[in-house]
Structure 1
Amino acid sequence: MARVAFLGLGVMGFPMAGHLAAAGHEVTVWNRSPAKAEAWAARHKGRVAATAREAAEGAEFVMACVGNDDDLRQVCLGEAGAFAGMGKGAVFVDHTTVSAAVTRQLSALAVEAGLGFVDAPVSGGQAGAESGQLSVMCGGTQDDYARAESVIAAYAKICKLMGPSGAGQLAKMCNQIAIAGLVQGLSESLHFAEKAGLSIPEVVEVISQGAAGSWQMQNRHQTMAENHFDFGFAVDWMRKDLGICLATADETGASLPVTALVDQFYKEVQAMGGGRWDTSSLIARLRR
């Protein structure tokens, strides 16, 4: 078992840190709003730290799951940042979905300080975090990854090294690109079924057994039919992720016409007041 710090206790980080404690790791948590950290400690066995640096002191692994590039920089750098508290040889594991550019920048700084660094964004949403069944795509050195893999296993159903620093973030972009087009297609399919006078449950029962079947269809068709979206991965976060995808596509020369279009559809959902709705809320704009 390892000494682990977990930074960021949102809808993903809270249960992920809980799985680490349940697996027997010695866990110290930190969160920007201390109340969440105290709530976590009341439910799980572990210690609360006042700063990211304090949480990282003495930890073999420091896991982070925060909001965006700027949040990650603040958590890592500065006098109160995690890097300042980590001992040489400790490994920083970043579960935040951020740009590959900030990942490479922070990885280089970690190496200069004698630290390991693994970018390890996750897929599976809140449900996957709570059940410990996340897909984790990683970037970094083989040695750093090999050390971190057994700790990440506490909340992963699959964990894979995709390449050097930044490769995990690039793989997560592939994930979000695939989801964006899929959810739009599912939204249009269910909307068409409604307009055609068909039963959504019956349509899904049939088509989900063929080539149209997907996780989104299986897990979201009922709530989409009921116009129920106050759960899951928020539209605001999806737009953040798609913005990263589109910016990276400009850098690499990739063409993402469907992703760019769906990003604008999510912008319309935000304008409808749905920034915190689940990403399956794309169907709501079709029903207006």
Structure 2
Amino acid sequence: MSDEVGFIGLGRMGAPMARNVAAAGFRLVLRDESDEAARRVAADTDGRIAAAPSDFAGCGVVVTMLPTSAVVAKALLEWEGGLPQHLPDGAVVVDMSSSVPHDTVALGARLAEHGVALVDAPVSGGVPGAVAGTLSIMMGADDPAAAERAQPVVDAMSARTYRTGGLGTGHAVKALNNFIAASTFVACGEALIAAERFGLDKATLVDVLNTSTGRSFVSSEVLGEHVVDGKFASGFSLPLMTKDVGIALDLLRETGTAAGAGERVHAALAEALEHLGDVDHTRAVEYWASLGR
């Protein structure tokens, strides 16, 4: 496999992930809608910024870390006629975004027309995990050999990889994981509001949760610092959380699964998003606290 890796999407997650790939010895070809973001990562990694799709011609692996399936498809297929035809034989695209599973399968078919394999490998662990290189990866692939070719690059960003099955299954697992996390967040937010209105100390409630059966990633890593202490800087936006729960809700419905919890959680997040816009997801608790008084 070539030691040159393409990396498209250099935001809060993508930038530290790309830096870890470079630290593992790979040479980077970089692209982002923000020229400044690309310049920062290029300066940190000695990577080169792509001016055209042909600049990726030496990349055996191309990573995408972008907001939605539509943005991934646009970046790969619509930029100056498309990227796939410029990639070498046996190249693999690794979509690490939180994409829609059905869109991933469709994109895989489009890339296969050019002899390029697609692997979906979304991540969990947030910005801290991206910086530390300890992300959990959920990898789906129809071609096991393609997954093996991508694995050394993925390993540079992660502590563990779970092979989830065929193409699209990684994105399905990621959506379901984020649905569970979001459900916990909504429940914790409502509990904090009720505690405060009853005259309880919110920090004490969080301490109790973290030594009791209510303990979760949300209670231990999010509530205290970002909600109770008012930092509101978890690194995961409200639009992205709402989007991911929407993907999971569609999956529940498509599989004929009872979706009462999914509908309730998505509605709560969507209502907060309508009123707050593009903010850290933890600020949704402020909106919910303004209701029902």
Q: Tell me the residue number matched to 2:119.
A: 118
Does the aligned pair in 1 maintain the 2:179–2:244 contact within 8 Å?
no
Whether 1:255 aligns to 2:275 is no
Q: Any idea what the Cα deviations from partners look like across 1:3-59, whole Å, max 9, x if unmatched? A: 1010111111111111111111111111122221112112222111113x2342110
Does the aligned pair in 2 maintain the 1:67–1:96 contact within 8 Å?
yes
Alignment of 1:96-115 (within 5 A): 96-115=97-116
How much has 1:210 moved relative to structure 2? Answer: 2.2
Alignment partners' CA distance in 2, 1:212 and 1:115: 45
Whether 1:237 aligns to 2:240 is yes
Q: Tell me the residue number matched to 2:59.
A: 59
Q: Tell me the residue number matched to 2:31.
A: 30
Equivalent of residue 265 in structure 1, options 260, 265, 268: 268
Whether 1:69 aligns to 2:69 is yes
Give me the identity figure in percent. 30
Relative to structure 1, the CA distance from residue 188 to residue 72 in structure 2 (aligned partners, 3 Å threshold; closer, same or farther) is: same
> SS of the residue aligned with 2:6?
strand
Relative to structure 1, the CA distance from residue 231 to residue 219 in structure 2 (aligned partners, 3 Å threshold; closer, same or farther) is: closer
Alignment partners' CA distance in 2, 1:212 and 1:33: 41
> SS of the residue aligned with 1:19?
helix
Q: Give the aligned residue type for 1:255.
A: A
Q: Tell me the residue number matched to 1:129.
A: 130
Structure 1 unaligned segments of length 5 or more: list them. none
Relative to structure 1, the CA distance from residue 80 to residue 13 in structure 2 (aligned partners, 3 Å threshold; closer, same or farther) is: farther
Q: Give the aligned residue type for 1:145.
A: A
Q: Any idea what the Cα deviations from partners look like across 1:181-236, whole Å, max 9, x if unmatched? A: 11011112222222222222223223312221111111112221134424411111
Q: Give the aligned residue type for 1:121.
A: P
Whether 1:277 aligns to 2:276 is no
Q: Give the aligned residue type for 2:27.
A: E
Q: Tell me the residue number matched to 1:154.
A: 156
Q: Tell me the residue number matched to 2:86.
A: 85
Q: Any idea what the Cα deviations from partners look like across 1:86-133, whole Å, max 9, x if unmatched? A: 111011100111111111111122223222210111112222212212
Does the aligned pair in 2 maintain the 1:126–1:232 contact within 8 Å?
yes
Moved over 3 A (4+): none
> SS of the residue aligned with 1:281?
helix
Alignment partners' CA distance in 2, 1:259 and 1:131: 31
Alignment partners' CA distance in 2, 1:11 and 1:181: 23
Alignment partners' CA distance in 2, 1:243 and 1:207: 28
Q: What's the RMSD between the two structures over aligned residues?
A: 1.8
Name whichever of 31-40 and 173-182 sits farther off: 31-40
Q: Give the TM-score normalised by the residue count of structure 2.
A: 0.91
Q: Give the TM-score normalised by the residue count of structure 1.
A: 0.93
Alignment partners' CA distance in 2, 1:203 and 1:237: 27
Q: Any idea what the Cα deviations from partners look like across 1:50-93, whole Å, max 9, x if unmatched? A: 13x23421101000011212211111214443212211101110
Alignment partners' CA distance in 2, 1:170 and 1:134: 17
